[in-house]
């Protein structure tokens, strides 16, 4: 069995699972249609046929005519949904709703029915156009290769356009696989991407200069620019960060050198695995905070970066975090001790008033390179620093 056959057997839904999921979604949609006074359709990877095995969540769109006011769609939807059961309301560019039924999660999103992207009042309004485009361009092989790309990115911790991940969204991966024609061709291209690479599948623009002049500059900060095939004003990869872009280039090159099914399984970070990376490992674990997913994720990243910043002087070799039923931070550093004091740069010597204030705060002052410098004491041991920066409820291990 080659790597592709092996991976697809693990990530592609079986015909039986496909039928069961489709039946479950159909029952839920029928329930919605019994109370909703406008059109209801399936969206997301379910509509595109690109979902992964065991992924039992579905995006359901409540399709309002353009005559409805955009800012009232969520409130109207909520009144209808109250008639069929319990749900949670989440804040977004337009508020949406989530139903939990056993292992299934149904996300109900109110949108306006549009035929062209420029008629959208909100980015979510364009979602059915995305689904229709992917479906039109996809064969069964393309759908399988999209699944491979998603599984690859999930396993390598670079999947998701949320702000706390800044990775590859499912839609961007769908565009890239369709553009390059296969998973392997996609990886070959990714390994050689240069910063500022532009993908314009629909040929909206004559050249790169036209792209850069036409799309909002704030949306062109990503290292990869993917012009949305259904919306020429949008960079679909705007949320992609440099870190995940570089990781993709690295992992693509590694896979091409030695293709293996192991690239599609997320490696759990164990103490033994981490120990190989460096001399000292810090593991921090705590219960997942409650709240809206995006906001919780952003809070986790902020906490992670705070701890990382304080450990940097110990010689940072590697650092990352995981979030499932609990949150785990891990850091690999070179040493368990750092200097007990450090020189801190102060104001320029010509700013005499500021220098005087700086001297009042610090006892030992050195004047060099046109600045005042202070000898500042600092906590020296790794354990002391870690325990100073972690929050209540966090379990810490240093080994």
pLDDT tens-digit readout, 337-349: 888 888 888 899 9
Across 69-95, average pLDDT:
94
What are φ and ψ of residue 154, in 5° steps? -65, -45
DSSP code of residue 205: S
Q: Which residue did the predictor score with more confidence, 277 or 104?
A: 104
The three-point CA angle 143-147-149 to 5° equals 115
Q: What is the pLDDT of residues 224-260, one digit of tens each?
A: 999 999 999 999 999 999 999 999 999 999 999 999 9
**pLDDT the model gives residue 103:** 87
The confidence band for 277, taking pLDDT boundaries of 50, 70 and 90, is low
CA atoms within 13 A on the CB side of 205: 21
The pLDDT of residue 274 is above 80: no
User: Please, which residues have CB within 8 angstroms of residue 4's CB and are 6 or more apart in sequence?
Assistant: 148
Q: What is the pLDDT of residues 293-348, one digit of tens each?
A: 778 888 898 998 889 988 888 888 888 888 888 899 989 888 888 888 888 888 99
Question: What is residue 295's three-state secondary structure?
Answer: helix
Neighbours of 87 (CB within 10 A): 17
d(CA 155, CA 130): 25
Domains, the chain, ordered by start:
12-124 (3.30.460.10), 138-264 (1.10.1410.30), 271-336+383-398 (3.30.70.590), 341-377 (3.30.70)
d(CA 319, CA 305): 10
pTM (two decimals): 0.83
**pLDDT the model gives residue 380:** 76
Average pLDDT, the chain: 92
Residue 309: in which H helix or E strand, if any? helix 293-311
Residue among 365, 358, 369 nearest 343 (CA): 365
Share of the chain above pLDDT 90, in %: 67
**pLDDT the model gives residue 111:** 97
DSSP code of residue 374: E
d(CA 381, CA 383): 6
């Amino acid at each position: 069995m080659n790597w592709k056959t092996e991976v697809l057997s693990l990530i592609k839904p079986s015909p039986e699972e496909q039928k069961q999921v489709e039946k479950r979604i159909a029952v839920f949609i029928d329930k919605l249609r019994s109370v909703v006074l406008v059109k209801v359709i399936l969206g997301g990877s379910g509509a595109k046929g690109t979902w992964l095995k065991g992924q039992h969540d579905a995006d359901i769109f409540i399709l309002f005519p353009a005559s409805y006011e955009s800012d009232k769609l969520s409130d109207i939807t909520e009144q209808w949904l109250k008639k069929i059961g319990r749900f949670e309301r989440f804040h977004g560019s337009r508020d949406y709703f989530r139903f939990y039924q056993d292992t299934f999660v149904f996300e109900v999103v109110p949108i306006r029915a549009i035929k062209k992207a420029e008629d959208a009042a909100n980015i979510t309004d364009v979602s059915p156009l995305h689904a229709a485009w992917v479906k039109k361009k996809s064969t069964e092989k393309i759908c399988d290769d999209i699944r491979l790309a998603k599984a690859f990115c999930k396993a390598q911790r670079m999947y998701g356009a949320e702000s706390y991940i800044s990775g590859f969204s499912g839609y961007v991966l769908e565009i890239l696989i369709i553009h390059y024609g296969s998973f392997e061709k996609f990886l070959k291209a990714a390994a050689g991407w240069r910063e500022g690479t532009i993908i314009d599948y629909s040929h909206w623009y004559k050249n790169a200069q036209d792209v850069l002049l036409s799309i909002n500059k704030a949306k062109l900060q990503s290292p990869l620019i993917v012009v949305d095939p259904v919306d020429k004003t949008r960079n679909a990869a705007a949320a992609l960060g440099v870190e995940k872009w570089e990781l993709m280039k690295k992992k693509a090159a590694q896979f091409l050198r030695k293709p293996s099914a192991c690239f599609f399984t997320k490696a759990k970070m164990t103490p033994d695995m981490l120990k190989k990376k460096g001399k000292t490992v810090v593991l921090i674990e705590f219960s997942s905070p409650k709240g809206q997913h995006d906001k919780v994720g952003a809070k986790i990243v902020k906490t992670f970066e705070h701890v990382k910043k304080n450990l940097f002087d110990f010689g940072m070799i590697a650092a990352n975090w995981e979030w499932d039923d609990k949150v785990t931070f891990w850091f690999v550093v070179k040493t368990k001790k750092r200097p007990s004091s450090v020189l801190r740069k102060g104001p320029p010597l010509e700013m005499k008033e500021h220098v005087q204030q700086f001297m009042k705060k610090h006892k030992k002052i050195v004047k060099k390179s046109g600045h005042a410098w202070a000898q500042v004491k600092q906590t020296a041991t790794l354990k002391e620093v870690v325990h100073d920066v972690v929050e209540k409820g966090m379990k810490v291990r240093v080994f």
